[in-house]
Chains A and B, each alone.
Chain A
Amino acid sequence: MRPPGSIPIKDYAIETPLEKSLASSEGESIYEVNIDFNTNSSIAAINFVLKDEETGSWYQHRGRDFKVPLIDYLQDDGNIVGAKKGLGTWPGPLGQISNMLLKPEAANSKEDIGELSVQKRGLQGFYEEQAVVKEILVDNLVSVSVRHCLETAKNLLYIETDLPGDVIVHWGICKDDGKTWEIPSEPYPPETSMFKDKALRTLLQRKNGGHGSLGSFILDEGSVAFVFVLKLNENTWLNCHGNDFCIPLSSFSVPPIHSGQPHSEDEEQNNESGSLLISGNASEANQEVSAYTDEIIDEIRNLVTDISSEKNRKTKSKKAQESILQEIEKLAAEAYSIFRSSIPTFTETDLLEEEALEPPVKISSGTGSGFEILCQGFNWESHKSGKWYIDLREKASKLASLGFTVLWLPPPTDSVSSEGYMPRDLYNLNSRLTNVKMHPLTFQGRGNKSSGDNFHAAPNIDHSQEFVRKDIKEWLHWLREEIGYDGWRLDFVRGFWGGYVKDYIEATEPYFAVGEYWDSLSYTYGEMDHNQDAHRQRIIDWINATNGTAGAFDVTTKGILHSALERCEYWRLSDEKGKPPGVVGWWPSRAVTFIENHDTGSTQGHWRFPGGKEIQGYAYILTHPGTPSVFYDHIFSEYQSEISTLISIRNRNKIQCRSTVQIMKAERDVYAAMTDEKVVMKIGPGHYEPSNGSRNWSLVAEGRDYKIWETS
């Protein structure tokens, strides 16, 4: 008589799974089990209990086993199901939804719990519906954060929850500790209405595309607390251990300390969520539970983390754990940045002092000596030669004689792409670099850093890879100490946190470090906007995060030069305040100006500088503050002599990254600027001549659409 799938449990019970009934209809699932037995057998009754495999919950009848009598004289212990005289099977009405679980105690307190059932009795059998109350404990989170805005003197309160379905917040404020609800002043969030003059009722907005809702509330400063309860539907209210949720607003007092740093304190009062009360209370259980729609319970079921099973709890809380880990990571990063910045190794005051000093005294990794001129010593094809470093060694003296001080080398590691990117094994310097040990020898002077004409090698580091933070400091150290590199070029994805870069840089003390923060300039209707402040601000922010220990490629300037030169819109080269519009106009000492690199030029040609106008570009960056970088392809091209002239003008006039520039003219077809009152340049087809007033200007360089003068 054992149905298929039955497993004996010890020697007194059988476990049989319920099968989905063929009679299931209209989306309603009915599960059943048929037990066939011989009526002539001596079975007095079939006893059973139900177990929910998913949650591990057990369901009983009136605190005891369900009992189906098979003979009519069985003693009634009060838990008999069906007719005392009836014979037959009892198909359990255990649909997923109406499957209301009967807690053992519940039956005790409520005798007639099963009475909404239809009872059919007959001689040959009976059909009886027993309601079981299933109490589903779900794990939902309501997180409330409060932000105090100093400017408006208001608190911004933000509620976010993963509760499914519509969530209505009934809320108010307290003006004293008495917990009496008061109606706050407007404005209210959308979907807010008054509820019996006592509370406000706000429907939280559903989150895009996911479970859960959110809402934000603006509160006056005078309130002591924000009080609320949540309403899911007519019968389900969520509160905090029987009380209202109460979010204190009168600030999280960090003790009277720390020299008045004006920041807002976030207080997180989250996690006060808990078990959803599904079943109302016992006396009403039946009706109300059945009032639930399938949808809600299904959704809830999906979200359930049932308390009864540790095992389930573990797996299901994984998600929660992940979000907690993310939060932890965020907090750690914040703590890190504060602790880090408080270490007095490199402070802003140092920077300022340094800036005030006459050049060139201090070497800072953000600027080098301040007089650096970079040569990007490779292009996208350089790996093809197979012995790039050897070729470069041969060219090094040439480069040095041209006036370059820093040579930027391709990534020196064995790489996934043969171009040298994506280092696979950081310590393997085999690709193309068998002779790498010789390059500190190749280049003049790692010493004598103050002379301004020394020569430094800097490899490229790809920060977009996962390995980055792992061993990178060691590796950099090794490159710096053992191999003799003097600095880094940090190739990173947007958002790579500058604070970590600072860490590497400070740990490895490079001579020079530069990062690349690449994103799009802003355009309106296909026209580049004149104001690119947002773009350069993002780059500045990154540099700031490194605490100025690294410079950054001035992508803004490159972009603006593109438009200005290509479309003859030289007016773009002055911002609204009459300064250079790129990073170089705001933080010149950390701006590495360039017009092309291996990504944009070369055979990659992602964003190539307007053809034929390269020298105008170099005339601009080599006469302007910032640290100019010249692309390899341009050096070894027909432009070499012109570039060489421009570099010698820069060096001769001691133009450096912090030089002052004054824009003389920025019109449609001509741009002119004076640097350190020693050099005047103009680019564009239009006419410009410096006026020979107090100074005597003499033309020292001239070419297609550019002229440069020096004072004599």
Chain B
Amino acid sequence: MEISVIGNSQVNFGKINVGFCSFSKNLNRKIYNSKNYPKTSNFCQGQNMVWHAKSSSGVTLKASNIRAEAALTSEKASKITRTRPIDAVKLYVGLPLDTVSNSATINNARAIAVGLKALKLLGVDGVELPVWWGIAEKQAMGKYDWTCYLALAEMVRKTGLKLHISLCFHASNEPKIRLPKWVSQIGESQPDIYFADRAGQPYKDCLSLSVDDLPVLDGKTPIEVYMGFFESFKSSFSAFMGSTITGISIGLGPDGELRYPSQRQSVKDSSQLGAGEFQCYDKNMLTNLKQHAETLGNPLWGLGGPHDTPGYDQSPNSNGFFADGGSWETPYGDFFLSWYSSQLVSHGDRILSRAAETFKDVSVSVSGKVPLMYSWYRTRSHPSELTAGVYNTVNRDGYEAITEIFSRNSCNIILPGMDLSDDHQPNESRSSPELLLAQIMSSCRKHGVEVSGQNSLVSGGPKVMEQIKKNLLEENAVDLFTYQRMGAYFFSPDNFPSFTQFVRNLKQLNLHSDDLPQKDDETADSLPDMDLHRQVA
């Protein structure tokens, strides 16, 4: 409904516009508010206007923020400070992994539609949708089927939520989502497109980084195939880009994470006793290692991976490599670990730079996921991180190189494990999710990389929510949190009430900071400005 403003003067109107700009960072939240407090509808309308203008001109969200801040600084009116951007954490919820089924239909569409509505009312900013390689490019190379994903994006748009897309170039076990069939067929004759461990066991849930630039997929390199996927996605979803779709994360390896599949045992084995194994035994990795050793003048080092590493389920201390003073601290160890980790970093850089290039002209953020290999973090050698490809030990910060490539490509880092607390880790694994998180975050801060958080555990509950909140609020670096994920458990009476509480707490905190400058109003002496508040607030 419209309220006619009595004789609104031009001067005031200008100021109001400034207010609009400065709100744009929290657009979602404000729209939500306008539903609650319908009297702000005039504001809301103006806000929409700003949004459209922004999307058409292709200015990114970030940029518009800067613009708004600039406007504020020049304004200098004391009263207007209330409308400065609130440093709020945006909150997203992941849609079920199998939202689009293998047979290209939407699972539980009704439940998702209802769920989206619930999230919207709750004040959640958006949802995350996994888009699977094995579903969208299932039929044949270059033959994409986006129908269901487009339908979902439309559902999300209609609900008024934002959408973060996760492009998944890996397979999933639970629920079962495979790589495209035409890829796995190639894999049957050429198992070397997969990672392999010392025993030669291939890991068939994603391609080995060693084939990134080899024409193994019917004459095309995997990178080229990924690029094709990006391009097709971009053009198919162009109507949503920058408006509904605010971000895209790019799958970088197993479970989408930038790592080697060093852990092979099932996730259910929560003890995570072993540190995992190195995955450098596919043909191309070995060739690469050999060449690298020869270049460095140590051909003997390139004959294979380290011989004294423990197996998947063995304690890292049971063999020489990771022990204190073990091979990892020798020149050979350094040689091998440097090579092994640099392969991973270059792989990340290759994909992220292509993705950033592809999506640079649409206003979406591009991100990638970095693993949180927190077991054995409290040892000197950090074996779990080493096998996963992060050369992070007591002597060396392995996350610098990783955050650096994200920074170089202007990509955000997605960090899982925001829900994990040290208190719940088994003692014998000497793990510390919290310390590791802090290390990665500080590296991100240093390189100016924005962090999006996620939770790792399925189980929710008040304690978990508390931990997430702690991480989000203490570390000021997180600007988006994606709660994983919607499904039966998510809406169950065990979880949903605490999630609701969590959302309200987050939003409430935002509100508090929002309210702070208001105290000044009590002694206001400049009345036109007061009036501005009423218009804008």
Contacts and interface: CB of A to CB of B under 8 A. Distances in A.
B363 to A, nearest CB: 25
Interface in A277-331: 277, 279, 281-282, 285, 305, 307-308, 310-311, 313-314, 317, 320-321, 324-325, 327-328, 331
Interface in B512-533: 514-515, 518, 521, 523-524, 527-528, 530-531, 533
Contacts of B40: 307
Given A240-B1, A257-B105, A331 B115 contact: yes
A276 interface: yes
Interface stretch (B129-137, B179-187, B312-320, B489-497): B489-497
Given A105-B6, A335-B111, A342-B111, A305 B39 contact: yes
B537 A307 contact: yes
A328 B36 CA distance: 13
B121 interface: yes
A503 to B, nearest CB: 6
B111 A338 contact: yes
Contact of B106 (A10, A257, A271): A257
Given A109-B6, A310-B514, A473-B494, A317 B37 contact: yes
Contacts of B492: 336, 340, 503
Interface stretch (A137-145, A604-612, A647-655): A137-145
A678 B284 CA distance: 75
Given A138-B39, A255-B154, A307-B39, A263 B6 contact: no
A480 interface: no
B531 to A, nearest CB: 6
Contact of B35 (A242, A261, A271, A281): A271
Contacts of A241: 1-2, 41-42, 45
Interface string B151-163: 1101100100000
Interface residues of B, number: 65
Interface stretch (A17-25, A56-64, A82-90, A549-557): A56-64
A674 interface: no
Given A275-B39, A311-B515, A281 B158 contact: no
B38 A310 contact: no
Given A332-B491, A469-B494, A274 B106 contact: no
A238 interface: yes
B531 A104 contact: yes
B2 A274 contact: yes
Interface string B10-52: 0010000000000000000000000111111110010000000
Interface residues of A, number: 76
A593 interface: no
A659 interface: no
Interface string B317-345: 00000000000000000000000000000
Contacts of A415: none
A335 B36 contact: no
Interface string B460-502: 0000000000000000000000000011101111101000100
A272 interface: yes
Contact of B39 (A109, A137, A239): A137
Contacts of B42: 241, 274-275
Interface string A126-137: 000000010101
A401 interface: no
A647 to B, nearest CB: 39
Contacts of B500: 325, 328
A138 B39 CA distance: 7
A256 interface: yes
Contacts of A334: 111, 114
Contact of B151 (A60, A108, A257): A257
B106 A258 contact: yes
Interface string A258-269: 110101000010
B28 to A, nearest CB: 15
Contact of B110 (A56, A263, A272, A320): A263
Interface string B219-258: 0000000000000000000000000000000000000000
A274 B527 contact: no
B86 interface: no
Contacts of A331: 114-115, 117-118, 121
B6 A258 contact: no
B491 A339 contact: yes
B107 interface: yes
Nearest to B110: A338
Contacts of A141: 38
B266 interface: no
A271 B533 CA distance: 22
B59 interface: no
B3 interface: yes
Interface in A57-80: 57-58, 60
Nearest to A253: B154
Interface string A332-358: 111110111011000000000000000
B7 interface: yes
B502 to A, nearest CB: 13
A317 B36 contact: yes
Contact of A328 (B122, B155, B530): B122
B7 A106 contact: yes
Given A238-B1, A274-B41, A254 B515 contact: no
Contacts of B148: 255, 257
B511 interface: yes
Nearest to B150: A255
A657 B271 CA distance: 45
B295 interface: no
B534 interface: yes
Given A137-B39, A310-B514, A324-B36, A275 B1 contact: yes
Interface string A355-373: 0000000000000000000
B57 interface: no
Contacts of A314: 511, 515
B520 to A, nearest CB: 12
A459 B462 CA distance: 29
Nearest to B496: A332
A314 B537 CA distance: 12
Interface in B94-121: 96, 105-115, 117-118, 121
B105 A258 contact: yes
B74 interface: no
Contacts of B45: 241
Given A110-B7, A331-B114, A500-B493, A258 B41 contact: no
Contact of A257 (B2, B5, B35, B109): B109
A282 B36 CA distance: 28
Nearest to A102: B6
Given A258-B109, A311-B515, A336-B488, A58 B7 contact: no
A503 B117 CA distance: 23
Nearest to A105: B7
A9 interface: yes
A273 interface: yes
Nearest to B106: A257
B26 to A, nearest CB: 15
Given A140-B38, A320-B37, 9 more contacts: A108-B7, A240-B2, A254-B110, A257-B109, A310-B537, A339-B491, A340-B488, A342-B107, A343-B488
27 contacts: A58-B524, A103-B531, A104-B531, A105-B5, A105-B6, A109-B6, A133-B6, A138-B39, A139-B38, A241-B2, A254-B109, A255-B106, A255-B154, A274-B3, A277-B4, A307-B39, A307-B534, A317-B36, A328-B121, A328-B500, A332-B496, A333-B491, A336-B491, A339-B108, A342-B111, A342-B488, A343-B488
Please give me the 9 A-B residue pairs with the lowest Cβ-Cβ distance, nearest first.
Answer: A255-B151, A109-B7, A274-B1, A338-B111, A336-B491, A331-B118, A339-B488, A275-B3, A274-B41
Interface of B: 1-9, 12, 35-42, 45, 96, 105-115, 117-118, 121-122, 148, 151-152, 154-155, 158, 486-488, 490-494, 496, 500, 511, 514-515, 518, 521, 523-524, 527-528, 530-531, 533-534, 537
